[in-house]
Structure formats: C-alpha cells, structure tokens
Amino acid sequence: MDTRLSHVITATAVAAAAVMMLAVMGRAVAGLVAALVVSCMIGMRPIAAEQLRRAVPAYLLAVGAQVAHLIEEYHTGFYREFPPVLGAAPWSGEAFLAFNLLWLLVFGLAAIGLLRGWGPAFAIALFLALGGGVLNGLAHVALAAMARGYFPGLYTAPLVLSAGSYLAYRLLRRSSIRVPAI
C-alpha cells in the first residue's frame, strides 16, 4: 500500500477511535485519547519492518500485562471509582469490559501487523506502550497517592508501566525517531 494512503487511513481510523472513545466513555478517557493522537503522529514516521518484528515479544508481554491489569481493574471496581475522580459519572461494568475487550482485539490484530512489518501497527504498538503502559501505570500510582491508599488497578500498575516502557524502548531504539533525553 502507498505510504501516503496508509497514513491517511491510519489518521482517519485514529480520529474515529478518538471520537468514539470520548462519545462512549466520556472525558475520563481524554488522557488516553491524547496518547492515541501522539502515538499516531509518532507512528507515521518511517520504521524498518524488521524492527517491528523484533518488538513482537515485548509487545506480547505488554498485551499480557494489560490483560492482568484489566482483570484487577474489573474485579476491584475501577470502572466505578475512576470516572468520578474527573467529575464524570461511573461507567457500567459492561461498558468498561466492552471498551477494554475492543482494544485487546485491536492489539491482537496489530500483533499480526507487527509480524508482517506493517507500518500502521507501529502507531497501535506505541499507543499500547505510551497510553496503556506508561500513562496508565503512572496514573494509577498518582490515583493511589491521592486516595492515600489502594486505588483499583494499583497492584498491576507497575507491571503495565514496566511492560509499556520496555515496549517503547524496543520500538524506538535504533529507529529514525529521535527520543529526547529526560
């Protein structure tokens, strides 16, 4: 597929996903929407197909971490506790599961794209790393600090943070993408 056409399709899919995320889940997912947009912008830069394939083990580790994290969040009521922190109404358990299972489906399809060296899978993998891993993990630690104790999702937050950080490293190292030093 032509690179320009691929970028247009990717950007359109990301815009549609962002609108749907906000429409269905509300402003409580604004941070994830921002991470999705940033991941798309970075993910449109060139990356070698072999580098995508080499990132698959780290990617699968990050997906597994997300599954463990989802289980903890669901069983401890994250969907009820988190939205009110941002002034939004609690989510239903069904909506929360549907939202997360849909993303797990997207992540599964992106794994196939990574194996095939398909460039748009890079943006999805970056979203998993940055939004689902780093941002999510840090947010849970901050939420627990604000609650001065346990907040749903805290126990697996270090797992998603570590897996997301490692995936970001695997995706961005030795690429044409410059990552500023912190």
Average pLDDT of adjacent 10-residue blocks, the chain of 182 residues: 72 75 76 84 84 95 98 97 93 93 94 91 94 95 97 98 97 65 54
Instruction: Produce one character per residue of 24-62: b if its CB has 16 or more CB atoms within 10 Å, e if not.
Output: ebbebbeebbebbbbbbebbbeebeeebbebbbebbbbb
Q: What is the pLDDT of residue 45?
A: 81
Q: What is the pLDDT of residue 26?
A: 72
Structural domain contains residue 82? yes
Structural domain contains residue 157? yes
Structural domain contains residue 178? no
CA 47 to chain centre: 19
Q: What is the pLDDT of residue 1?
A: 56
Number of domains the chain is built from: 1
Q: What is the pLDDT of residue 8?
A: 79
Q: What is the pLDDT of residue 19?
A: 75
> In which domain, by residue range, is 117 found?
3-172
Structural domain contains residue 18? yes
Q: What is the pLDDT of residue 68?
A: 98
Structural domain contains residue 165? yes
Structural domain contains residue 134? yes
Q: Are 160 and 32 in contact (CB under 8 A)?
A: no
Structural domain contains residue 130? yes
